[in-house]
Structure 1
């Protein structure tokens, strides 16, 4: 039975069971036992597993070495479910202690399966939001990687930090304005739009775009910014007309 087919009471019981089971597996050095939940086809079971491991690392410092060893042993597994769950668990740890899990992201970025690479993006988002300095420093080294997908994934991964602290990532995004790959530039435009509709961000984004030199990327970003204020009108701080007026004030459109 899938996780959300269970009643709320049964879900609580199952979460407690998974927490206890994984702690016992880590403590006893039986990393293969973790596969029971790390390799479950249910997304929410795997999520419960990686959250459990992340909490275990934070709550019990005496088990930190064992947690990391467990994840290291599971990372090469042939199941992408397992590798995805390992990366997500590392992301939970990296919110507080990025340096000890950096290698998981160095590996995950180049994983053959998109689900694992997506787990890297998601983890960079959540880590960058609360532990930005080491995460963004790590991300910078891949901004100009020869693989276009790596550049695109890094661009996407730093997005969440920009929604509250746009100036932390706008200089990094600017480095991609002349990227030769349309897919990377499209992601760049998307990320700029996702930042711009958040509270207090539009003016900062527009002022920064004034310093950019690629007119096609800037034009695409402005179109996206105006459009996103309609697509996300229930969440945007400004109306689309207000956003359009502000864009015109900066760019005399």
Structure 2
């Protein structure tokens, strides 16, 4: 039976049992039970497992060194679900101890399987929101990587921090403004739209775009920002109406004025 086919009390019992299985695996240095959960077909079982690992790491200092050793071993497992859950476990740890798990993301970025690379993106999002300084410093190292997918993944990964603090990621995004790869450019425009619609964010995004040199890219970003504020997108969640956004851009975007 799938996790969400259970009632609330049954789900809590499963969560408690998975936590105990993970803790016991580390304490007894036997990963058999841990692997059962890490490889489970049910996404929510795997999520419960990697969240449990994060909780155990954060509350059991004596186990931290061993946990990292075991996770490094699991990162080489042939099962992509195990590797994916391992990266997500590292993401839980990295929200507070990013320096301990940097190597996991250096490896995961180049995994052959897309689910592991997606787990890196998801982890960078949640780590960047909670622990931005070291995570963004790490991300800078990959902004100009020769692999276009790495550049795209980094761009996507830093998005969540930008939704509340666009000023933290705009300098990194700016470095991608002349990227010639379509997928990178599309992701960049998407992220600029996503970090524009919360209260106080549009002003920061527009102000920063005034310093960008790629006018065609800026115009694409502006089109996306306006569209994000439309009824078909996020109008129910935006701080400003679409008309207010258009008016603000017309008044404050210097590039549009320079293009006359």
Distance 1:91 1:165 in 2: 20
Structure 2 unpaired stretches of 5+: none
Aligned counterpart, 1:217? 217
Distance 2:49 2:2 in 1: 14
Aligned counterpart, 2:238? 236
Matched position secondary structure for 1:49: helix
Q: Normalising by structure 2, report the TM-score.
A: 0.95
Distance 2:236 2:59 in 1: 38
Match for 1:247 among 237, 246, 249? 249
TM-superposed CA distance for 1:73, in Å, is 1.2
Aligned counterpart, 1:140? 140
Aligned counterpart, 2:17? 17
TM-superposed CA distance for 1:32, in Å, is 3.5
The CA deviation string for residues 23-68 of structure 1, in whole angstroms up to 9 with x for no partner, is 0011111123311100001000000000000000001111111211
Which runs of structure 2 are paired with 1:1-253 in the superposition (5 Å)? 1-230=1-230, 231-251=233-253
Distance 2:177 2:195 in 1: 16
Distance 1:237 1:15 in 2: 37
Matched position secondary structure for 1:98: helix
Distance 1:106 1:198 in 2: 31
Distance 1:98 1:32 in 2: 27
Distance 1:161 1:239 in 2: 23
Distance 2:155 2:191 in 1: 8
Q: Normalising by structure 1, report the TM-score.
A: 0.98
The CA deviation string for residues 47-101 of structure 1, in whole angstroms up to 9 with x for no partner, is 0000000000001111111211121111111111111100000000000000110
TM-superposed CA distance for 1:191, in Å, is 0.3
- RMSD after superposition: 0.9
Distance 2:80 2:10 in 1: 28
Structure 1 runs, 4 residues or longer, greater than 3 Å off? none
TM-superposed CA distance for 1:234, in Å, is 1.2
Distance 2:244 2:15 in 1: 46
Structure 1 unpaired stretches of 5+: none
Distance 2:12 2:167 in 1: 40
TM-superposed CA distance for 1:218, in Å, is 0.3
Matched position secondary structure for 2:96: coil
Preserved contact between residue 31 and residue 74 of structure 1 (Cα < 8 Å): no
Aligned length in residues: 253
